[in-house]
Each structure stands twice: as C-alpha cells, then as structure tokens.
Structure 1
Amino acid sequence: MSPAPRVAIVTGAARGIGAGTAERLAREGRAVAVLDLKEADAQEVVDRITASGGKALAVGCDVSDEEQVQTAVDSVAERLGSPEILVNNAGVLRDNLLFKMSASDWDIVMNVHLRGSFLMSKAVQAYMVKTRWGRIVNLSSSSALGNRGQANYSAAKAGVQGLTKTLAIELGQFGVTANAVAPGFIETDMTRATAERIGIDYEAMKEHQAKQTPVRRTGVPEDIANAVAFFTGEDAGFVSGQVIYVAGGPLD
C-alpha cells in the first residue's frame, strides 16, 4: 500500500504563478489545496488537476485575516490531511510613486504579502512540527532590491526574505525548511495589468524586458514552479534559509 500523498497549500493559486505551482506540485504527487480569496476562482485550477488524475481542493480565504487563515488551514487538514508543504504566493499590487501612495495602498500590500505569509506560516507550522517534516516556500521578488513606484511592494518582498530566514532558524530543528523564490519579470495577469495601468503595450513591455535579460526572454509561471518544486522536494532537506532569484540572469 503506497503512502498517502503529502499535502500542499498554495495561496493565491487561482491564476498565474500560484496556479502553475499548484499544478506542478500535483504532478509531483502532492494533494494540493488551491487557496484564493474566492473559492469559486480556485475551482478551475482544481478541475484541471483532478482531470489529470490529481487530488485537489479549492479553498476560499483572505490570507490577511487571522481567523479565516486558521479556519482554512484546519479545513485542509480535515479534508486532505495534515499540510506539510506551504507556498505563500498570494499578492496584490498598488503601485505608485511615494508622494502619490496612500496609506491604504501601503497597508493592503503589506497585509497580503507579509502579514499573509506570517499568518499562513504560523498556522501551518503547527502541523509540520507535529509530523516533524515540512517545506515552506515564500514568494519574494526581484523588486525586493528596490524598484521605482513600488515602495510598498519592495518593502513587503524584502520583509518576506527576512521572515524566510527567521523561519528557517526557528523551525529547522523540527525538520522544517523555509526558502524563498524571487521572480524577475514573469508573464502573468499582474504584469499585464501593470502595463495597462501605465499605458504601455504589453508585448512591447515583454520585448523590452527580454532585451534586458541575459537569457533574452521573459519568464513564465512554470519557471517559478520549477524552483518551488525543488525546494519542496524530498531531497531538499539540507537547503534552508535561501533566496533564489529566478530572473534569467544575475541581479545587482
């Protein structure tokens, strides 16, 4: 009798990097909780996973709400099994130059990216510690190094890196690793929306980004999912507290 599949939770998984990661982990044999703000939005990804023979569950949750997070994680444990893999991917953008950025723009981005990663990690680690095995992967960004018009996003993504390293230090003794993946330019609905907001043709934006990238192309969600798959694998138990930039080349 084969062992039960390890259970993974991927936040912000209804589309883009989150969806690509959820589907990749399902192909790795994981049972995947596809978590997004609205359960209905996550169902399409679940349907694709189950149609391919995988096991998945759609869960609605605001990751910045502590009560919703605890309820969602406990529900996953009850319906799929004890979660041992967590990918904190949920995110939003409220880009603006500092003098135009509202306190609300700051708070929303910090709450989803940083508070959400904290709350999800805190809730899931309780299960990981009991089983003495766990993998936490937090999505940072190349913007953590600083980016014009993204004071909120850059600060949140830099904070995610500090959170990741601290989780690695605190949880390592329980067999739990924590790492971060920092994407460069990835073709998603989010980057398309950014192009529309600033009035730039999306194809032109991608072409410009590709020219600035050593590998001469832009990234796709599968590029990030590949890195997450490594960090969450059975053989990655001695890799913890690391930040890998998946950006098509070195960054300053």
Structure 2
Amino acid sequence: MARVAMVTGAARGIGADASVRLAEDGMDIAVLGTDEAAHAETLRRITETGRRCVFVTADVTDAASVDRALARIHSELGDPGVLLNCVGAVDRGPLRELSDQDWTEAVGGPLRGVFVTGRAVVDPMIKNGGGRILTLADVAGGGRPGAARNSVVETGLAGFTRTIALELRPFGITANVVAPEPTATDLTATPAAAGGSTYAAGALDAVRFLTGDGAAAVSGQIVHVAMTA
C-alpha cells in the first residue's frame, strides 16, 4: 500500500510543488484547505502523476475540523505517514503599525495550525510504526526591520519542532523544518519569484530527503536552503 501524505498550504508556489513531488515519489496525497477552487491546479498536477488525491475541506487551526479531515483521509486513502505543513511568510510592517488582529492572524494562525495538525497525526503514526512531520516555512526571515512576525514564528517553529522530535523519537516519528534563506521569503510565490529553479529544486530535494527512508535518523533539524544566483 502506498504511503499517504497530508499536506497543508499547497494552493500554489513551493507548497504546491512539494505536494506534487511527494506524489511523484509514490505517495497518495490528501490536501487540506478551505478553498478547493484555489487548489484546482495543484490537484490536477497531483492526479497527473497517477497517484490518488483527495481535497479535504478543513480549517487547520480548528481541532475538530482536522479530526474530521483525518477520519475522511483514513477512509479514502489510509492513515497519513507524512505530514507536510507549508507556511509562507507574511510581514505585516513595523511594530508601531501592527494591530492586535494583525498579530493574532500572522503569528497565532501559523503556529496553531502546525500544532493542531501535528498533534492529530501522532496517534495514527504511532499505531503504524512511525512517520514524518515536516514544515516547509520561512523561519529564517526574522531579524530584519518589519519582520517581528517572522521572528516569532521562526522561534516558535524551531522550538516546537525540536521538542516534539525528542518526544516522538521512541516511536519512529521524525520532525524537521525546511527553511529558505531570508532573501527568498515567499513560499506562496512561483519558483521564479522565490529565487529561481535552483532554489526551488533545492527546497524540494530537502523535502524529498526528509520524508524518505534515508532520513529515519534525522530529526529536530532546521534545514536552511540558500537561494543561488
């Protein structure tokens, strides 16, 4: 039976490319999101690989919604052995211009989504003898003016990933982050806008490695992918 990957943030850009890469590697793909139309091209590309693909409407920040999505994935494809969360960077401007709502949406949403989906897949992965939890995210985007949001998300994702990596290691579950360098921050952009085909290929190669059998002993890592000229 093919491995199953559950993917979030795959409407476009490198997130979409990563979901297609996993399908090319022989995985069946469950794409989670709130707008199926926005994912139409991604779903078409996955289907063209010959793998099974389902779109599941879900709010990844809502635990009940994710649990319902997992039940459907289990029914139609099987339990996910791979979770790939794709988190794009969104700078909201200087600190003095950030509203409470800006901060909550920009920081709380991504971190909660990674937490909720990660927690949801742990039991199925333990039951099936292991799995891969991977975040494709701009966690290297902080440390510059106007990037307070990215700095907080960077720290939160790094700490969360390293902690659960230790916690889940006895169960054969790894947790890692693939992170672009600060010069290439938009994971929702096209590969060209995100630094060209070399950068995009490097990020996708890292995803392929970390979700594969060869990375069984690699966990708790933040893997930086540099943009090249």
Same fold (TM over 0.5): yes
* Alignment counterpart, residue 160 of structure 2, candidates 159, 163, 177: 163
Q: 1:188 to 1:143 in 2, by over 3 A?
A: closer
* Alignment counterpart, residue 59 of structure 2, candidates 28, 50, 62: 62
1:223 maps to 2:202: yes
Q: 1:129 to 1:42 in 2, by over 3 A?
A: same
Superposed CA deviations along residues 158-198 of structure 1, whole A, max 9, x for unmatched, are: 21011100110111100100111111244858458xxxxxx
Q: 1:119 to 1:219 in 2, by over 3 A?
A: farther
Q: Which residue of 2 aligns with 1:117?
A: 114
1:240 maps to 2:219: yes
Gaps of 5+ in 1: 193-202, 211-216
Q: Is the 8 A contact 2:139 2:153 kept in 1?
A: no
Bigger mean CA deviation after superposition, 24-33 or 94-103: 94-103
Superposed CA deviations along residues 227-252 of structure 1, whole A, max 9, x for unmatched, are: 11110001110111111111237xxx
Q: 1:248 to 1:164 in 2, by over 3 A?
A: same
Q: Which residue of 1 aligns with 2:90?
A: 93
Q: Output aligned runs, 1:26-45, within 5 Å.
A: 26-45=23-42
Distance in 1 (alpha carbons) for counterparts of 2:61 and 2:92 = 19
TM-score normalised to the size of structure 1?
A: 0.81
Q: 1:190 to 1:231 in 2, by over 3 A?
A: closer
Paired residue secondary structure (1:89): strand
Cα root mean square deviation, aligned: 2.4
Q: 1:72 to 1:147 in 2, by over 3 A?
A: farther
Q: Which residue of 2 aligns with 1:176?
A: 173
Please say which structure displays the higher CA radius of gyration.
1
1:107 maps to 2:104: yes
Superposed CA deviations along residues 182-215 of structure 1, whole A, max 9, x for unmatched, are: 11244858458xxxxxxxxxx9xx6xx97xxxxx
Q: Which residue of 1 aligns with 2:69?
A: 72
Paired residue secondary structure (2:213): coil
Counting aligned pairs with the same residue, the percent is: 38
TM-score normalised to the size of structure 2?
A: 0.89
1:46 maps to 2:25: no
Q: 1:26 to 1:228 in 2, by over 3 A?
A: same
Q: 1:222 to 1:37 in 2, by over 3 A?
A: farther
Q: Is the 8 A contact 1:183 1:247 kept in 2?
A: yes
Q: Is the 8 A contact 1:12 1:36 kept in 2?
A: yes
Q: Is the 8 A contact 1:114 1:157 kept in 2?
A: no
Shift of 1:49: 1.5
Paired residue secondary structure (2:105): helix
AA of the residue aligned to 1:248: M
Distance in 2 (alpha carbons) for counterparts of 1:224 and 1:86 = 16
Distance in 2 (alpha carbons) for counterparts of 1:91 and 1:35 = 15
